[in-house]
């Protein structure tokens, strides 16, 4: 009598930070211990060292550490003067913080649709949304590739551009024949060090970069209660300092960032080839001008929700970024948007699914992801 042997299940998490930590434990722990021994937890020397390193990576004159990526955007908005009565143009297909900070600055979010290929903001739509009340534009670098900052600039004129680069630290784009880094050419660039980012801390953390000395000075004040001299406050700011412990972790990780991003690109290329003959899925479209760091590997899928359920049964991690565009969120009902206002963002929300692409993904895990997706579609 023959028996059927069930296939071996290889669990694949969406992200495995424990696997990453195992490779750098001996580098990160001495720096963390140094901070503990020195007891310099608030704006210790490693914060300044990290700021210099990130400024160098992004090719900017100034970098200011802050408590998280959300505060980075809020402080940037305050620095360019956004407030009550103003409008700020942005995309509805992004994490909530992008628009939440606009609201919390006192300004009004103005949502425009996305490019259906890259998921990034449509520059022409952004330009068409500019009015006399527009104070700034926030393009988002989604899933690891930069938004077309130079096209946004051409569309919106001299308005401040705040590049939400939370997902693109170390990414680059060829502009006028020259590679430019995430955060380099916008008025202000903002980064997040949330643990799931390509460069992630052991908690929250953020960074703001700019070429503008006046803006840098304002943002330095804003992150520390509007003060550069203790107990003397030129502005009403925030308590938004980057912890020295987080800076220690990030300084240990930063030398590995380029290799990690290259490994993500290799994993993405493997998936691209493996799904090339599966017409039910569309692999990520990378603008030829961009070098993506693949913070996410995001498919467009037929029967997306059923596929995700099938992957869960196979113990393959996945996630939907993002299931409801911001213009349709209940908290923004006061803005008056309706279904159909941003059709491409709405369609993307129905179709996208992100697969594991982290650098430590093993060949067996990668093959398990491919096999599961192909099995669902009968390939």
Going residue by residue through the chain, which has 379 residues, state the pLDDT in tens, using 9 for 90 and above.
Answer: 445 545 678 999 999 999 999 999 999 999 999 999 999 999 999 999 999 999 999 999 999 999 999 999 999 999 999 999 999 999 999 999 999 999 999 999 999 999 999 999 999 999 999 999 999 999 999 999 999 999 999 999 999 999 999 999 999 999 999 999 999 999 999 999 999 999 999 999 999 999 999 999 999 999 999 999 999 999 999 999 999 999 999 999 999 999 999 999 999 999 999 999 999 999 999 999 999 999 999 999 999 999 999 999 999 999 999 999 999 999 999 999 999 999 999 999 999 999 999 999 999 999 999 999 999 999 9
CATH, residue 279: 3.90.1150.10
What is the pLDDT at residue 277?
97
- Rounded Cα distance between 133 and 219, Å, is 23
Q: How many domains does the chain have?
A: 2
Same domain, yes or no: 135 and 242: yes
- Rounded Cα distance between 79 and 286, Å, is 32
- Rounded Cα distance between 339 and 323, Å, is 14
Find, among 148, 143, 222, 145, the residue nearest to 186 by Cα.
148
- Token pair recorded at residue 104: 């919390």
Same domain, yes or no: 209 and 152: yes
Rounded (to 5) percent helix, strand, coil in the chain: 40, 15, 40
Question: What are the residues whose beta carbons fall under 8 Å from the beta carbon of 171, sequence distance 6 or more?
Answer: 141, 144, 145, 146, 165, 181, 182, 261, 290, 291, 292, 293
Same domain, yes or no: 219 and 262: no
Find, among 264, 352, 270, the residue nearest to 308 by Cα.
352
What is the pLDDT at residue 8?
74
Same domain, yes or no: 239 and 228: yes
Same domain, yes or no: 47 and 115: yes
Same domain, yes or no: 234 and 125: yes
- How many CB atoms are located within 10 Å of the residue 364 CB? 10
Same domain, yes or no: 70 and 48: yes
Same domain, yes or no: 49 and 170: yes
Cis before 322? omega within 30: yes
Phi/psi for 121 (5° steps) reads: -60, 145
Same domain, yes or no: 222 and 274: no
Beta bridge partners of 354: 298, 319
H helices present in 59-96, as ranges: 69-79
Same domain, yes or no: 321 and 207: no
Question: Which DSSP helix (H) or strand (E) runs through 299?
Answer: strand 297-301
Print the domain residue range for 82: 19-255
Q: How many CA atoms lie within 13 A of 24 on its CB side?
A: 23
CATH, residue 32: 3.40.640.10
Q: How many residues in total does the chain contain?
A: 379
């Amino acid at each position: 009598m023959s028996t059927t042997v069930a296939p071996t299940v290889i669990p694949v998490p969406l992200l495995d930070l424990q696997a990453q930590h195992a490779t750098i434990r001996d580098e990160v722990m001495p720096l963390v211990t140094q901070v503990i021994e020195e007891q310099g937890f608030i704006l210790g020397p490693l914060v300044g060292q990290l700021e210099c390193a990130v400024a160098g990576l992004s090719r900017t004159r100034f970098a200011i550490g802050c408590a998280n990526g959300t505060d980075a955007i809020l402080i940037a908005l305050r620095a360019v003067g956004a407030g009550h009565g103003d409008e700020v143009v942005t995309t509805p297909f992004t994490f909530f913080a992008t628009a939440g900070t606009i609201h919390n600055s006192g300004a009004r979010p103005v949502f425009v649709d996305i490019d259906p290929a890259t998921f990034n903001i449509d520059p022409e739509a952004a330009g068409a949304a500019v009015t006399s009340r527009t104070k700034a534009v926030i393009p988002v670098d989604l899933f690891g590739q930069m938004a077309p900052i130079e096209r946004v600039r051409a569309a919106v004129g001299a308005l401040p551009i705040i590049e939400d680069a939370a997902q693109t630290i170390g990414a680059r784009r060829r502009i006028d024949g020259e590679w430019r880094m995430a955060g380099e050419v916008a008025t202000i660039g903002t980064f997040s060090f949330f643990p799931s980012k390509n460069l992630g801390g052991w908690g929250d953390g953020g960074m703001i970069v700019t070429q503008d000395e006046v803006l840098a000075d304002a943002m330095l004040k804003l992150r520390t209660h509007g003060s550069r001299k203790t107990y003397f406050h030129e502005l009403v700011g925030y308590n938004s300092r980057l912890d020295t412990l987080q800076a220690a972790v990030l300084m240990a990780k930063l030398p590995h960032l380029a290799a990690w991003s290259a490994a993500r690109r290799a994993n993405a290329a493997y998936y691209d080839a493996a799904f090339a003959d599966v017409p039910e899925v569309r692999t990520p479209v990378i603008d030829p001008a961009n070098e993506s760091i693949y913070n996410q590997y995001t498919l467009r899928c037929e029967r997306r929700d059923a596929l995700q359920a099938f992957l869960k049964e196979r113990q393959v991690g996945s996630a939907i970024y993002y299931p409801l565009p911001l213009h349709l969120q209940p908290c923004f009902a006061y803005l008056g948007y309706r279904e159909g206002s941003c059709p491409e963002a709405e369609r993307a929300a129905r179709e996208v699914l992100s697969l594991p692409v982290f650098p430590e993904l093993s060949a067996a895990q990668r093959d398990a992801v491919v096999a599961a997706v192909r099995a669902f579609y009968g390939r």
